[in-house]
Chain A
Amino acid sequence: MAEVAKFEEEVSKLKTLEKDREKYFTNRQEMEMRLTESRNVKAELDLMDSDSKVYKLIGAVLVRQDLDEARSTVEKRLEFIESEIKRVESSIADIAKKANDQRDKVMAIQKSFQAMAAAQQAK
């Protein structure tokens, strides 16, 4: 039956959308964690004396870094993560809307099935 095939197709579309949304959610969660960590680093760096020795772990090596440089790097990273979060958030809103539309579609087909079944029974 063509309708059943169509129905299954729409359902699987809905499932992919929901899976994608899930993915974006975990994505946002990870980024928020990175954001808080970077914020903490920024706060600590701001409290440092100007003659503090700051090192950055690169691979297995600690590399000496200028305090101002470290500050600006972290600052830039904060901005980057913030913009990334905004991007993911808009993707989430977008996909939520799509998922809702898709759900309505599936429900409509379901309803037409029920109507058909009812009509058949009435015969």
Chain B
Amino acid sequence: MAEEPRGVPLTDLSIQQLSELQKNCEQELNFFQESFGALKGLLARNEKSINSLEDVKVASPGHTALIPLSESLYIRAELSDPSKHMVEIGTGYFVELEREKAKAIFDRKKEHIAKQIETVEGILKEKRRTRAYISDAFQTKVQAQLATMNTASN
């Protein structure tokens, strides 16, 4: 998307081009920051699922529990078969699975998300460095122009 300063040294760009580049970089940084946050949220939700799985491990058939229907409304329910879980695997598909298999899905998801977080983290680092370079070049350019303006007016 953005014109990476590949082959062209930053110092060769005009102030306008630099500020354009800065804006682009900022936008990309924001985008990846957002993805990073979203991924962290997903990871936390996934972790919650794994923990819940552990929680129902001790339950036996006939175990009663209060099931939340909304944030503040619960219903008493009886577990007919706590060894089976309904797991959402995405795009509206659910699968009935035993604990081990459900756990395997969550573990795979966790690994997948962790890997993506790692990638995004790497990109973020890279982008921050690029941003620092660009703003450095920008500053020097502005300073240089100010200096020439001063000598011209004198």
Interface presence of A109 (CB below 8 A): no
B92 CB within 8 Å of chain A? yes
Return chain B residues, CB-CB under 8 Å to A62: 86, 94
Q: Give the chain A neighbours of B105 by CB distance below 8 A.
A: 44
Query: B79 in the interface, Cβ–Cβ < 8 Å?
Result: no
Contact across chains for A52 and B97 when beta carbons are under 8 A apart = yes
Interface status of B95 (Cβ within 8 A of chain A): yes
* Chain B proximity of A122: nearest CB distance (Å): 22
Q: Please, how many residues of chain A have a CB less than 8 angstroms from a CB on the other chain?
A: 20
> 16 A-B residue contacts at CB 8 Å?
A25-B1, A38-B90, A40-B89, A40-B112, A41-B93, A44-B90, A44-B95, A44-B105, A53-B95, A54-B95, A55-B86, A55-B95, A55-B96, A56-B93, A58-B92, A77-B91
Is A117 at the interface (CB under 8 A from chain B)? Answer: no
Which secondary structure dominates where chain A touches chain B?
helix
CB distance from A94 to the nearest CB of B (A): 17
Interface of B is mostly: strand
Residue of A nearest to B96 (CB): A53
Chain A contacts to B: CB under 8 angstroms: 25, 34, 37-38, 40-41, 44-45, 48, 52-58, 62, 70, 74, 77
A55 touches B94 (CB 8 A): yes
Q: Cβ of A45: which chain B residues have Cβ within 8 Å of it?
A: 89, 93
List the 5 closest pairs (A to B, CB-CB), nearest first: A57-B92, A53-B96, A44-B89, A55-B94, A41-B90
Check B89–A52 contact: CB distance below 8 A: no
Residues of A within 8 A of B97 (CB): 52
Cβ–Cβ < 8 Å partners of A77 in chain B: 91
